[in-house]
Structure 1
Amino acid sequence: MVGKQKLIDEILSSAKKTAAAMVEEATAEQTEALAALRKELDAAQAESLARSDKAADDYYSGQVKLGDLEAGKALLHAKQRCVAAVYDGVRDKILRAPDAEYLALLQKLVVEVCEDGDEIIAAKSDAKRVNAAWVKKVSAAAKKKLTLSKVQGDFSGGVILRNPRYDRDLSVDEIVAELKERTVGDTLKALGL
């Protein structure tokens, strides 16, 4: 039995050595695989962080640009309101001018562009100022036949010259709009905008 036991002990010893070698080899492979996986995970994490940082930078940059755009829009809107207030003031000053000044301005404009036979349409608000006597005076100054229309215009002030071919808008709103178109640059400079 001693020989048999010895053989069993040798087989067991050999099996233990083989098993230990296999465990050692598996452990080494596992350690190597874990190291490779750790390396991949670290690289993926670094790439993910870089993408996150870039996305955050892009988002921040986008928000800054958006903020700049919004600030620009707000500034432009404020400038537009300032300019509109100036021209609204001009419009109001014309409309509130004493009759003599107001009618002199309208007369000058009508005389410059009227044609023989034009009909003058006055604003409803100017019915007392722009009357037949005034039209007669303007007609004489222009040396053209002008008539006052029985129709009154639905605009804030001024007149419209009507003839069969076309109308000429000399309403206060149109006068101020043309003035604005010609002078808005100078107005912006004067306002420091």
Structure 2
Amino acid sequence: MAGASGTDAVAERVRAAMVAVPRAGFLPRARRRDAAYDGPLDIGHGQTNSQPRTVADMLRLLAVRPGDRVLDVGAGSGWTTALLAHLTGPTGSVLGVERVPELVRFGAANLERAGMPWARLVAARPGVLGAPDDGPFDRILVSAAPRRLPQGLVDQLADGGVLVIPVGARMTRLVRHVGDSDEVSEHGAYRFVPLVTDD
């Protein structure tokens, strides 16, 4: 990641995004009163809206820049997709993909109300992880845990692109270097629902 001042700037941008895109608007009506709870909240269909502190940690690691093209895997309620859209601004683009049809409808409706047309949330293609036809991406965020690092997602990154994903119980940050070794680092233990990878 960037040096100390750069890290501070990233953290401030993430804080601003969390204020600008309130969690409550992305929760089922019955759970909105719990929006301030710093823990995961059930959104149905075996999925959760992630703990805000965890989301902030992941966004800091991702270090989204204005104008970036971003993929949000496991978009769920659309909250992370909207946060990413705030960070890219209208010069960027964010694509959220979700497997559960009911959550696709719920998340897309939430995102539409957020009023950021440079972001969209769509159904994941059966048997396809991510959105290879829409890449390459500058940043990829994954909000579910695979057993191992999915090479298919790494391949969807642009040169110098960043992937943040909880592999097993370890938050993993990968910086892609096409033609050279990718830079991989781990950043603490977290719990997420499993990622379905079809492999």
- With normalisation by structure 1, the TM-score equals 0.30
Task: Identify the structure with the greater helix proportion.
Answer: 1
Which entry has the higher C-alpha Rg, 1 or 2? 1
Task: Identify the structure with the greater strand proportion.
Answer: 2
- With normalisation by structure 2, the TM-score equals 0.29
